[in-house]
Structures are given as structure tokens and as C-alpha cells.
Amino acid sequence: MSSPATATGLPVISEIPALRAWRDAERVAGRRVALVPTMGALHEGHLALVDEARRRAQRVVMSIFVNPLQFGPSEDFQRYPRPLDRDRALAAARGVDLLFTPAVEVMYPPGSETRVVPGETASRWEGDVRPGHFAGVLTVVLKLFHLVEPDVAVFGQKDIQQATLIRRMVRDLDLRVDLVLSPTVRESDGVALSSRNAYLTPEQRVEARVLNRALRAADRAWREGGRDAAVLRRLIEGEFGLSPGVQPDYIAIVDPDTLSPVPVAVTGTIIAVAARVGSTRLLDNHILGREFR
């Protein structure tokens, strides 16, 4: 059932009719609405998305939904953390106006079978490692866009392929929503914020810094005139070679729209890396020409 408010004063809705009634009232009032989609287990990276959303709209909706469609057979959907009370408190303190927390059967009623089928861009990089993942992501994001009808939606740069595919879906399906890519938030040692960081041992945490270090090395080389993608790739490989406890899954130097490999790195080219540190898989990326964060 939907709750009008928690002890924090933050309204929480879990049913679609109540969400639509709220949205209709905001539309009548002429207020601009932003959406921040999450799976919960919030950290500062998620909350930075809220800050960006508040700069662009009068109302901010955060969704918390652990989406079963984006979990592969070897990924434990049931074990994904769901600290809802903690998430409510964090969202309220940051200025979220409405929390949407639907159950699986609300988002995918019995008999639901329609899915978004992404194109070739989804089969590369993360899609190659996690087949079917992006079909699940795009399906739930499209549903959230239809339910919330946001004027703007904010996504994090850390999941750059996801953000790129959502942008293509919005363009291809003529959806009326503005997308904002918020820069990656990093911890003090440069490691990109992720809930997965909690799984690292202290020794692995030190090793994990190589992702950031490798991207920074490539960025420096590019700013000094290095444009050959093969040379930049070898530079990144060399950095990874100094951390034997880190096993790269891929090093991608790609076009920002197609995510296809490019021979020459130019302004806007994405450098994305994924690597395993012990049993923990980490992602990071940098967009050339932008300030490194």
C-alpha cells in the first residue's frame, strides 16, 4: 500500500494510481518534475543526482525499485540490499519530494511480457559481459518515464553505457524528457563511488585505485597531444599491469553515440574500463575534453 508520508515527512507512494494523481496535481500547478531512478542502497553518488535534479526542477521524484529484469542468472536478485528506512532518511534529507517504491508485481503484473529490445549498441562492453542486462534496464526506465512523466531525468556518468542507451531510446522513440548526465562522484582516493566498494578488502581497495589512475594517465597523454587510440589503450594496459590483483574485463575507447571503437580519440570520445578486483567487478570512465573528476 502507498503511504502518504514517513516519519521523515517524505511522501512515499507504491501504487500507480496514487503516483499518477500526484503527477496530475503537479502538472496543474505548473511545476517542473525531475526523476532520479535508483535501485536503492543509496550513497553520495545517488544523492549528487538529487542535487542536480533540484537545480533543474521544482519537484524531485526518486524511484527505488530493484528491477529483476536486469539481473542475470548468476546475479543474486534476492541478495541485493534493500535498506529502505535508511534510504528514505537520506532522500528526505537531500530534498527529494516524493519516493516511488513499487513492488515487482506492480511494475510487472502477472502476464506482463512486453519488453524493450535494444539494438547492437547494447551487445558491446557491459552487454557482452551481462547478456540481457540492458533490455531489463531500458524496459524499467521506459515504464518509469511513462508513469512519472518527468520533464527531466538525471543519470550518473559512472554507468556511461546505460546512459548512452537511454539517450538513444529517448531519441528513437521520441520521448518527451530531457536527460542530464551527472559527473561521476569519487571517494577521496579517486575510486568511483559504488555500492560494490563495500565488498573490497583494505588491500583490494588500494588496488582498485588503478582504474582511476589509468584513466588519468590516458587523459594526460591526450591533453598533451596523444590522439592514437591504440597508444592510449597500451598506456592504460601498462597501468593495469602494475596492479596484478586487478583483472581488466575491457578497455573501451569509443564513439559517444555508437559506443564503437575509434582509431583516433577526439573531444567527446569515451574511455571506459571494467575490471575485477578479487570477486568484485568495478566500472569507471572518462569523457575526453571534460574536467577529470
Question: Which positions are catalytic?
Answer: 46
Q: Give the whole-angstrom CA distance, residue 51 versus residue 274.
A: 27
Cell output for 52: 542536480
Distant-in-sequence, close-in-space partners of 261: CB < 8 Å, separation ≥ 6: 229, 252, 253, 254
Cell output for 245: 590483483
> 137, 166, 175: which is closest to 257 by C-alpha?
166
Q: Give the whole-angstrom CA distance, residue 222 versus residue 268.
A: 12
Backbone angles phi, psi at 243, to 5 degrees: -125, 85
Q: Give the whole-angstrom CA distance, residue 255 versus residue 104.
A: 35
Q: Give the whole-angstrom CA distance, residue 114 versus residue 82.
A: 26
The amino acid present at 275, given as its one-letter code, is A
| Torsion 205-210-215-216 (CA) sign | positive
Cell output for 192: 568511483
Partnered with residue 99 across adjacent β-strands are 12, 62
